Amino acid sequence: MRQRNSFGWQAYGALIEALSWLHYVVVSPLGKSDEGGADWLRKRHHPVLPKPVDSRRIWIHAVSAGEAKVAELLRQQLLALDPTVSVVLSSTTYSGYARIKRAAGGEASFIMPLDTLPEQSRLFEQLKPALLVLVESEYWPAQFGAAEAAGVPVVVVNATLSARSFARHQRFPAIARRTLQQARRIYPQDAETLGRYRELGVPADRLELGGNLKLAPLGNLPPPDRTRPTITFGNIHADELDALAPAIAELRRRRPARRILLVPRYPGRIPVAELHRRFGADLAVVDDITATDATLVWLDRMGALADAYARSELGIVCGTFAPIGGHDLSEPLQLGAASLYGPHVERQRALDQSLQQMQSAVQVASAAELPDAVLHLFEHPAERDAMVARYRALSDTAATRLRQLATDLLALAQ
Torsion of CA 114, 91, 170, 412, to 10 degrees: 110
Over residues 167-173, mean pLDDT? 93
Q: Which helix (H) or strand (E) holds 397?
A: helix 381-412
- The half-sphere exposure of 234 on its side-chain side, counting CA atoms within 13 A, is 32
Q: Quick one: pLDDT at residue 1?
A: 43
Q: Quick one: pLDDT at residue 197?
A: 97
pLDDT in tens, 279-296: 999 999 999 999 999 999
0.85 exceeded by the pTM? Answer: no
Q: Quick one: pLDDT at residue 31?
A: 63
Cα separation of 82 and 330, whole Å? Answer: 28
Over residues 206-216, mean pLDDT? 92
Q: Quick one: pLDDT at residue 130?
A: 98
| Beta-sheet strand order (sheet of 131-135) | 109-111, 86-91, 57-61, 131-135, 154-159, 185-188
Domains of the chain by start residue, with CATH = 2-7+34-211 (3.40.50.11720), 230-395 (3.40.50.2000)
Q: Quick one: pLDDT at residue 82?
A: 97
Is pLDDT above 80 for 32?
no
> Hey, what amino acid is at 257?
A
φ, ψ (nearest 5 deg) of residue 284: -90, 120
Q: Quick one: pLDDT at residue 87?
A: 98
Tell me the C-alpha to C-alpha distance, in Å, between residue 141 and each of 9, 176, 285. Answer: 10, 9, 44
Q: What share of the chain is helix, strand, coil (3-state, %, to 5)?
A: 50, 15, 35
Tell me the C-alpha to C-alpha distance, in Å, between residue 193 and each of 211, 216, 218. Answer: 11, 20, 25
Q: Which of 70, 67, 75, 129 is nearest to 92 (CA)?
A: 67
- List the Cα angle 14/148/194 in 5-degree steps: 100
Over residues 140-164, mean pLDDT? 95
Q: What is the mean pLDDT of the chain?
A: 93
Is pLDDT above 50 for 159?
yes
pLDDT in tens, 114-138: 999 999 999 999 999 999 999 998 8
Polymer length of the chain: 414
- Between 349 and 47, whose confidence is greater? 47
Q: Which of 343, 318, 322, 321 is nearest to 332 (CA)?
A: 318
* DSSP E strand boundaries for 247-403: 259-264, 284-286, 296-299, 314-317, 338-341, 362-363
Cβ partners under 8 Å of residue 108, min gap 6 = 50, 86, 87, 88, 89
Over residues 184-190, mean pLDDT? 95
Strand 154-159 and strand 185-188: the pairing is parallel
Q: Quick one: pLDDT at residue 232?
A: 98
Q: Quick one: pLDDT at residue 16?
A: 96
Cα separation of 305 and 285, whole Å? Answer: 15
Is pLDDT above 60 for 4?
no
How confident is residue 7, by pLDDT bands cut at 50, 70 and 90?
A: confident
How confident is residue 229, by pLDDT bands cut at 50, 70 and 90?
A: very high
Is pLDDT above 60 for 220?
yes
Cα separation of 33 and 135, whole Å? Answer: 20
